[in-house]
A and B are shown apart, each in its own frame.
Chain A
Amino acid sequence: MPQVGDLRAKMSSLLEALDKWLCRPITVMEVCGTHTVSIFRSGIRTMLPEGVRLLSGPGCPVCVTDQAEVDAMVRLAKRPGVVLATYGDMVRVPGSCGSLAEARASGAEVAVVSSAIQALALAGSIQDKEIVFAGIGFETTAPATAVLLREARSKNVKNLSVLSLHKLVPPVLRLLASDPMLNIDGFLLPGHVSTIIGTAPYAFLAEEYGKACAVAGFEPLDIMSGIVEIARQICEGRPAVRRLYGRVVRHEGNVKAQELLEEVFRPASVRWRGIGLVEASGLVLADDYSDFDAYSRFGITLEEVSPPAGCRCGDVLAGRITPPECPLFGRSCTPQFPVGPCMVSSEGSCSAYYRYSSKGVSPWGA
């Protein structure tokens, strides 16, 4: 791992290497929302040469939460006798009838947690209410929900249930890789999802679709190294999935976490905002855990809900347009008054463009 001693000098070296290995213009999709934010915050976009086009992908679990799912959360929170426990990320996402923050302002009980296991403590301390934990996040975060469920069952907790909104990354990558309109040459793959799932689930990207891939960490050096590696693979015509985050990603991933996921969840086809139904891309509670399933406990069904008129989050998430190309961006859709989740999520593309590049017209590019 390169020592961070003189970060700016190291970044220059990487840029020189990129210059050498950029044989033609390339389009790289950085899938993970945390990569999107790191890229903006570190100013990497302003340092990249013209020939590298960075597309943000659907790796923002908040952004891809379907409108119907957000509405279900808000409706649950408004139910008397229910406390909705959620990570802070979801609190301001606008649903058809307002966000959790707005529901809270009108009296709904919303508890913000920084760890899933805190929902268990809540259930213990508020015995006369039903605690519903909204499980959002990808494979990095789902294991925590699995631990919560396993412990709730072993302690026979009656007033806790889970609304699983967890989604899986590899299935949506297949959809994106096979989209002829997107023209993606390479993928910067999510470092922490990979910590759980390893690198094998991405092999198809290189083998079946010829995409250049790098599993990268989140420091500026990691990200730039990933982009350099992708450019080089493309230049040398040898697409592969290269593991550049070996310090926490094993090829086989975290087997214990994978086994736990298999015990507690089963895959299901779920709707991703703006992308539609993606096969086997979501996690629902396995039969053994069905008594903790908030969907059945509260009789929740998800109908197809149209996103707000004019909202183009789906196109942004799929990399079809950049945020400034959405007609609502910066006008009726801003971080203070977001129309769609891409603007309110801390990891949303639109939010990142708005905050870090002055609504997409930053004097420094990006």
Chain B
Amino acid sequence: MCLAVPHRVVKIMDENRALVSTGGVELEVRTDLIEDLQVGDVVLVHAGFVIEKYNEDEGKELESLWEEVMQFASGR
């Protein structure tokens, strides 16, 4: 129910708008739902709003599942 796409923040336009891009495509989005946005942040955009920032460090649980999966795969 939630089509959302990662984008990189290219420009902070004002307190509730930013310009984000994926490759050669740029979009103006609302930033009302997020704090402390910086240029260069990778964000998740849904229906014209930034709903969260990407944080690779928080992916620990998926990483640990993968470690086990890869161990299992290489053990075969």
A interface residue numbers (CB < 8 A to B): 1-2, 13-14, 16-17, 20, 32-34, 59-61, 87, 114-118, 137-138, 140-141, 143-144, 147, 190-193, 195-196, 222, 225, 228-229, 242-250, 254, 256-257, 260, 347
A244 in contact with B2 given A115-B47, A144-B47, A260-B33 (CB within 8 Å): no
Measured CB to CB, the closest approach of chain B to A216, in angstroms, equals: 9
B25 within 8 A of A: no
CA distance in complex: A60, B4 (Å) = 15
Checking B2, B65, B66, B69 against A141 with a beta-carbon cut-off of 8 angstroms, the contacting residue is: B2
| Chain A residues within 8 Å of B62, by CB | 1-2, 222, 225, 244-247
Measured CB to CB, the closest approach of chain A to B53, in angstroms, equals: 8
Are the CB atoms of A247 and B2 closer together than 8 Å? no
Are the CB atoms of A114 and B2 closer together than 8 Å? no
User: 3 closest pairs, A vs B, by CB?
Assistant: A115-B48, A192-B2, A246-B58
User: From A260, which residue of chain B is reached at the shortest CB distance?
Assistant: B33
Main secondary structure of the interface of B (DSSP, over half): mixed
| Chain B residues within 8 Å of A225, by CB | 62, 65-66, 69
Can you identify 26 A-B contacts, CB atoms within 8 angstroms? A13-B69, A13-B70, A13-B73, A16-B73, A16-B76, A32-B1, A33-B1, A34-B1, A34-B3, A87-B47, A115-B49, A117-B48, A137-B47, A140-B46, A141-B46, A144-B48, A191-B2, A192-B1, A193-B2, A242-B65, A244-B61, A248-B53, A254-B33, A254-B51, A260-B33, A347-B1
